[in-house]
Amino acid sequence: MTDNTQSFQFFNRGPSPAVRLVFFSVLSLLLLFIDARFRYLESTRSALSVLVSPIQRLATLPGELWQHAGDFFTTQRRLVEENQALHQQHERDAAQLSQLQALQQETRQLRNLLKLPQHGELAAQAAEIVYAERDVFKRKVIIDKGANANVLIGQVVRDDAGIVGQVTRVYPWLAEVTMITEKDHAVPVMVLRNGLRTIVFGAGDTSQLSLRYMPVSSDIQHDDLLVTSGIDGVYPPGIPVAKVVKIERDPAYPFARITCLPVAGVDNHRHLMILSGLPQPPERPAGERAEQHLKMKQKK
C-alpha cells in the first residue's frame, strides 16, 4: 500500500506551474524571434494553414449560410416592392400617354379644322360632341352649341375631312346633329371625276352609305370620290362626302348596287365645325312661280 502511494507521487513530481509558464513563454518568444529573423517556420505555418482551412470553413459555414439566407429574403422583398412600384408607375405612365395621344389627336384635328377654307359667305364655328344618342339604331349626336350660339336647324356640320351631318334639332345650349349615315338620310352629291350628279343615302351603319337607283351603265368606278353638289340649297358644294368602295352590276336588275364609305370621321372625333348661315338659293323664275300657283289653285 505504501509502495503504490510512493510510486504515484513519484510520477506526479515535476516542475511547478510557475516554472512551466516561464519555460513556455521563453520558448514562444524564442520561436517568434527565430521565425521573424530566419523564417524557418514559414513552410510549417503554410502546411498547418492548409490542414486547418477546411475546419475553419466548416466552422464558419453555418454563419455564412444564415447570412446568405437573410440577404436572399431581404433582396427578394426589395425586388417585390420595386416591381410593384414599377408596375404602378407603368400604369400611371400608360394613362398619361393615352391622354397625351388623345390630346395630340384632338390638336391635329383642331388645326386641320382651322385650316379649312371658307365656303363663299358661310362662317363657321367650332363645336364639341357632348354625348351620343342613346338609341343604337339612330346615328345622332349632341353638340355643345345651341340657340345661344345662333345655331339653326338645317345647318351643315363637318370635320376636317368632310361632311358629318346636319343640325336637326336645336335646344337653348345644345343641338342635335343627324349623321349622314342615319338610315335614309339623303345628301345630293356628284362624282368628282366626271361631275355625275346623284344622291347618297345613309344605311343606318356608321361605316356605310349607298347610291340608289343608279343604272347599271352609270359611269361610276371604284374609289370615285363623291362631293356635295350644292344643288339642294343646304350643303355647300365641293365638300367631300364619301368614296365608292364596292360596285355590283347585275344585268338582271336595272340598278347597280353601289356601296360607299363616309370620308368624314362620323364616329371618330369629338370636335366638329358648324357652317353658320345657310346659303340662299336664287328665286325661282316668275313663270315657274305662276305655274305652281295655278296648280295649287287647281288642286284646291
The CATH number linked to 161 is 2.40.10.340
Mean pLDDT computed over 263-272: 82
**Whether the predicted pLDDT of 103 surpasses 80:** no
238 vs 38, residue with greater confidence: 238
> Per mean pLDDT, which range of 111-120, 121-130, 140-149, 164-173 is the poorest?
111-120
- 20 is in which domain, residue-wise? 2-38
Mean pLDDT computed over 50-55: 76
Q: Is 251 helix (H, G, I), strand (E, B) or coil?
A: coil
**Whether the predicted pLDDT of 266 surpasses 50:** yes
Residue 137 confidence (pLDDT): 72
Q: Establish if 94 belongs to a structural domain.
A: no
Average pLDDT of the chain, as a whole number: 79
Residue 91 confidence (pLDDT): 79
Find out whether 187 and 198 touch, Cβ atoms under 8 Å.
no
Most confident by average pLDDT, 6-20, 36-50, 181-195? 181-195
The DSSP secondary-structure symbol of 282 reads P
Q: Establish if 56 belongs to a structural domain.
A: no
Beta bridge partners of 124: 275
State whether 27 and 132 are in the same domain. Answer: no
The DSSP secondary-structure symbol of 116 reads P
Q: Establish if 159 belongs to a structural domain.
A: yes
Q: CB neighbours of 138 closer than 8 A, spacing ≥ 6?
A: 182
- All three cell numbers of 217, joined, read 351603265
147 vs 118, residue with greater confidence: 147
State whether 7 and 133 are in the same domain. Answer: no
74 vs 291, residue with greater confidence: 74
Q: CB neighbours of 210 closer than 8 A, spacing ≥ 6?
A: 200, 201, 203, 257, 258, 259, 260
Q: Tell me the pLDDT band of 113, cut-offs 50, 70 and 90.
A: low
**Whether the predicted pLDDT of 41 surpasses 60:** yes
Residue 110 confidence (pLDDT): 64
Q: Establish if 286 belongs to a structural domain.
A: no
Residue 243 confidence (pLDDT): 93
State whether 31 and 135 are in the same domain. Answer: no
Residue 70 confidence (pLDDT): 77
Phi, psi of 138 (to 5 degrees): -115, 135
215 vs 59, residue with greater confidence: 215
Find out whether 244 and 258 touch, Cβ atoms under 8 Å.
yes
For residues 160 and 115, give the distance between their C-alpha atoms in angstroms, rounded to a whole number: 8
Mean pLDDT computed over 12-25: 78
State whether 136 and 233 are in the same domain. Answer: yes
Residue 122 confidence (pLDDT): 66
Most confident by average pLDDT, 135-144, 200-209, 237-246? 237-246
Find out whether 234 and 156 touch, Cβ atoms under 8 Å.
yes
State whether 237 and 134 are in the same domain. Answer: yes
**Whether the predicted pLDDT of 80 surpasses 80:** yes
**Whether the predicted pLDDT of 245 surpasses 80:** yes
> Per mean pLDDT, which range of 50-54, 83-87, 103-107 is the poorest?
103-107
**Whether the predicted pLDDT of 278 surpasses 70:** no
Q: Establish if 210 belongs to a structural domain.
A: yes
Find out whether 131 and 143 touch, Cβ atoms under 8 Å.
no
Q: Establish if 67 belongs to a structural domain.
A: no
Mean pLDDT computed over 239-252: 90
**Count of structural domains, the chain:** 2
